[in-house]
Structure 1
Amino acid sequence: MADDTQDNQSSTGTTASSVPMATTTTTTTTTTTRPLPKGMILDKDGKPCRSCNSGQAFAAWAAQTKKKLPTTPVKKRTDCPADSETLGRSTWTLLHSIAATYPRQPTSTQQTDLTSFIKLFSKFYPCWVCAEDFQAYIEREKVKAGSRDEFGNWLCEAHNEVNRKLGKPEFDCKRWEERWRTGWKDGSCD
């Protein structure tokens, strides 16, 4: 899902490598063209996608588009729109928490509802690259919603797929419930 945006591209969207220049207008009405930061993901409208890029990449793009002002230190705000890393961490927390509270023996209606939720969720995810990637994963690896353990393991494997793409360490899926439901056995979450 989130965070795997830098190396992905879709036929409906674009990255900086396929549209390498950004046009800015200076106060003297001269138009200049500057390259976009490496790996910048553009939204389907051709503008940089805030939720598809890291905060660092988005800030680099924003900095090059602004008129040079005297350098006055600006305190970094904590209430800005989410970048891909913030969005990804929050999303995985929500999804794993849903898995942790999913019934051990769900009804057929609960199973259908969860599967529908995951499919709809993948269509509305703010980062279009991540959304399309998750939709493709769901097509390859159907949602398993037969029990809490089955869904928790399916979700853990989906998360590990993203971790592999990003070169991050994989999580031991045998420990998903300890991580997301009961807390670590050493008592450090108590």
Structure 2
Amino acid sequence: MSADTRQPEQPATGPEAPKKIPTGVVLGKDGKPCRSCTSFASWANQTKSALKISSSGGSAGAAAAAAMAATTAAVAPSGPADCPADVETLGRGTWTLLHTIAAQYPTQPTLGQQADVRGFIGSLSRLYPCWVCAEDFQKFLAKSPVLATSRDEFGRWLCAAHNEVNEKLGKPQFDCNLWEERWRTGWKDGRCD
């Protein structure tokens, strides 16, 4: 579930040149900006750019652009809590859910439980709101199918999946030997107690 700025294939329509979109804004398969695939900061920059264009014609537009700039500066990087999730909020929430599922997964799951977790992960890879992230996850699943014959195996598989995304995003790798301490039992230093 990584973010990237790939754009979906779009057929050229009419004599108009393609619109330039701000860096970091990802288009959905419909050709419109995708909130779930774009960070809040990139989304806000896109909105500010649109307001600047409209503000060149009058003071009302300039006031709106100034208000947007002030709002953007005052908000957390992922935006207000009551706004649609951006790619970063969505990713953090999804990884939290998945790792917590792994932490509560049975040590000796039945064949039915194994099928359920594989089905859930497969469905997630097709339904994930960020199409870029979904396609990346589907590619990961094709080369590294879900391993779920035990809690430890599933937790380590999930950690490896998360580390692959971290690598794509330039984030540090997590030591998968510590996955259970991070997501199930809490750190040995007691800070989670």
Q: TM-score, normalised by structure 2?
A: 0.82
**Alignment correspondent of 2:140:** 137
Following TM superposition, by how much is the alpha carbon of 1:37 offset from its aligned partner in structure 2, in angstroms? 1.0
Q: Does 1:116 align with 2:115?
A: no
The residue that corresponds to 1:175 in the other structure is 178
Name the structure where strand makes up a greater proportion of residues: 1
Name 2:43's counterpart in structure 1: 58
Q: 1:68-101 CA deviation, whole Å, 9 max, x = no partner?
A: 3313443643211011110000000000000000
**How far has the Cα of 1:11 moved from its partner?**
5.1
Which aligned segments of 4 or more residues in structure 1 are displaced greater than 6 angstroms? none
Q: For 1:142 and 1:64, locate their aligned partners in 2 and report how far apart those are by CA, in whole Å.
A: 42
Q: CA deviation at 1:129?
A: 0.4
Question: Where do residues 5-154 of structure 1 align in structure 2 (5 Å cutoff)?
Answer: 5-8=3-6, 21=19, 35-66=20-51, 67=54, 68-70=61-63, 71-72=66-67, 73-74=70-71, 76=75, 77-154=80-157
- Preserved CA contact (<8 Å) 1:20 1:36: no
CA distance in 2 between counterparts of 1:124 and 1:83 reads: 16
Let me know the Cα RMSD of the aligned residues: 1.9
**Which residue is 1:26 aligned to?**
none
Cα 1:60–1:140 shift into 2, 3 Å? same
| SS of structure 2 residue aligned to 1:69 | helix
| Residues in 2 aligned to 1:136 and 1:91: alpha-carbon distance in whole angstroms | 18
1:44 maps to a residue whose letter is: K
Residue by residue over 1:10-65, the C-alpha shift from the partner in whole angstroms, topping out at 9 and shown as x without a partner, is: 5589xxxxx862xxxxxxxxxxxxx3112321001111100101111111111112
- Residue-by-residue CA offset, 1:106-153 (whole Å, 9 max, x unaligned): 000000111011000111000000001001100100100100000000
Contact persistence 2:125–2:134 (CA under 8 A): yes
Q: Which has the higher helix share?
A: 2
Match in the other structure for 1:187: 190
Q: 2: distance between equivalents of 1:170 and 1:182?
A: 20
- Unmatched segments (≥5 aa) in structure 2: 12-16, 55-60
Question: CA 1:51/1:187 → structure 2, altered by over 3 Å: closer, same or farther?
Answer: same
Which amino acid in 1 is paired with 2:22? P
Identity %: 57
* Deviation of 1:5 (Å): 2.0
Q: List alignment gaps of at least 5 residues for structure 1.
A: 14-18, 22-34
Aligned length: 170
